[in-house]
Amino acid sequence: MWIREPGKVSDRLDFLGARENCLYLLRGRDMMIIGGGMSWIVPSLEIQLSKIDFEPKKLKYLVVSHSHFDHCGAVPYLKKKFPHIQILASAHAEKIFAKHKAIDFIAVTNKYAIDRLGLQSEYEGLDLKFDGIHVDRIITEKDIVDLGDGIDVHFLEVPGHTQCSIAAYVPKLKILFPGDAAPPPTDDENTVFFPGPQYHFGLFKQSMARLAGLEVEIVASEHYGAVTGTRAGRLLQEGLRQTERFRSRIIEMHQQTRNFDETVRKAAVEILSRNDFDFMGMGKEMQLTVLKTAIRRILEYAGLIDRTAP
């Protein structure tokens, strides 16, 4: 089953935020939020958090899966709302959050989405300005956080989409939180959104293979919701297959065009025209940027273009 809208996923898991930009509340004796979202979902979070049954003092952790603007924009709000929580992220993410240029970019892109969606009054009233993130705990490979009641959250380093990507897995519940290390679901259950190796294609595929080897009954994606049951495992396997098909198709296109920009234009016509994924209120221009970077990483990995090319 595909749970596309915020609400209850299971007794231990709540889906928060929005379909395009998802966070999850995981419950043991203590609780953890997985996902940092964007600032434009905060008005919805305010309503959702006021309606669900939980004790704020039991909320102990907030996991940032990676440092992209659409996965950390709501973190300052959540830290102000729950000042006692610990922010968990990878060491490389902490380095990125220490850079003024990165903070400025995250702030600008989140404000752009706020303006585009007409949420200026909410931005001011809820103090949604992105002013940086302090990481309280560095997460590394095989770290485990015990939430009590047998709910142990195991962490994996899964680079490829970014250098700083981490995933979370709960063996007892067979829940996987892949961040963007695996493509999200789409309306066609036999396909997934085009793969997103924004850092390194080989590492992206390797990380996906690791995740596909896990026993899962719920895949809680940070875009487009959660997939449960047998479809959860199929989503990861299909992600692997689609990643290889995508790689082969991009190489085929480039062999025809012999020009990077022309390959991007050809791929955009073929891929973006049949996908309605609005990138968190950012529009098609951002989607094209994501596609262009994925194509570059594939062609670099295949040795067809220079990795130092702009």
Section 266-285 average pLDDT: 69
Q: How is the chain split into domains, by residue range?
A: 2-241, 245-301
pLDDT per residue as tens digits for the range 41-91? 999 999 999 999 889 999 999 999 999 999 999 999 999 999 999 999 999
Measured CA to CA, the distance from residue 77 to residue 55 in angstroms comes to 18
Beta bridge partners of 176: 169, 219
Answer for the pair 119, 77: CB distance below 8 angstroms, yes or no: no
Per-residue pLDDT tens for 123-171?
999 999 999 999 999 999 999 999 999 999 999 999 999 999 999 999 9
Q: What are the strands, taking DSSP E only, across 149-294? A: 152-157, 166-170, 175-177, 218-220, 226-228
Specify whether the CB–CB gap between 280 and 70 falls below 8 A: yes
Q: Domain 2-241, CATH 3.60.15.10 — does that match?
A: yes
